[in-house]
């Protein structure tokens, strides 16, 4: 019984570790992603994804600088949740319904191309 429990805990730990480690590449089309980004995201997040888009100065909550380690160390899943559901109490609304699932995958692939995943070591 004890051994089974330990094995279960170990298994869960491996699963969690793995999903974190392998879920780091969106298989989207970065070209389409770039077009989506330029049309819908650039005005806030900026050309260099640094949060300095033309609309940024007028927002109550500054758009995230996607180039910071804080953002780059987030898993694909965390970024996906932010884009589909939005960020609470901020001008970043959810894009589900406004963009197709494919467009969201593509734009995330573009973000990861421009601001690659970087684990906090
Ligand atoms: C109206 C301005 C605005 C637009 C347009 C916008 N965002 Fe955002 N975005 C924000 C703000 C503000 C935040 C949250 C900042 C905070 O809470 O610190 C945010 C957060 C995010 C995050 C979370 C980053 C993190 O590290 O947690 C991602 C990812 C993101 N935006 C991607 C996008 C994408 C992709 C688009 C286009 C489809 C987009 N945003 C369009 C303003 C915007």
Instruction: Read off the CATH number of the domain in which 91 is found.
Output: 1.10.760.10
Q: How far apart are CA 12 and CA 6, in angstroms?
A: 10
Calculate how far, in angstroms, residue 61's C-alpha sits from the geometric centre of ligand 1.
Answer: 10
Give pLDDT, residue 20. 47
Whether ligand 1 lies within 6 angstroms of the CB of 67 is answered as no
Domain count of the chain?
1
**Residue at 103 is within a domain:** yes
Give the domain range for residue 75.
26-114
pTM of the model: 0.84
Q: Which two tokens stand for residue 70?
A: 């804080």
In a domain, 85, yes or no: yes
Please check whether residue 53 is in contact with residue 43, taking contact to mean a CB–CB distance below 8 angstroms. yes
In a domain, 40, yes or no: yes
8 Å CB contact between 67 and 49: yes
Domain-located, residue 90? yes
Which burial class, exposed, middle or buried, applies to 104 when counting CB atoms under 10 A from its CB (0-12, 13-18, 19+)? buried
Q: Whose CA is nearest to atom 11 of ligand 1?
A: 63
Give the model confidence (pLDDT) of 18-75 as tens digits.
444 445 567 899 999 999 999 999 999 999 999 999 999 999 999 999 999 999 999 9
């Amino acid at each position: 019984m004890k051994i089974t429990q330990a094995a279960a805990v170990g298994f869960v730990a491996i699963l969690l570790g793995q999903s974190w480690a392998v879920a780091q590449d969106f298989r989207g089309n970065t070209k389409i992603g770039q077009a989506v980004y330029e049309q819908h995201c650039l005005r806030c997040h900026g050309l260099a994804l640094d949060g300095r888009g033309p609309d940024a100065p007028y927002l109550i909550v500054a758009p995230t600088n996607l180039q910071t380690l804080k953002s780059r160390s987030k898993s694909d899943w965390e970024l996906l949740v932010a884009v589909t559901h939005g960020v609470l109490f901020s001008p970043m609304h959810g894009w589900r319904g406004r963009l197709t699932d494919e467009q969201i995958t593509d734009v995330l692939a573009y973000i990861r191309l421009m601001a690659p995943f970087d684990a906090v070591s």
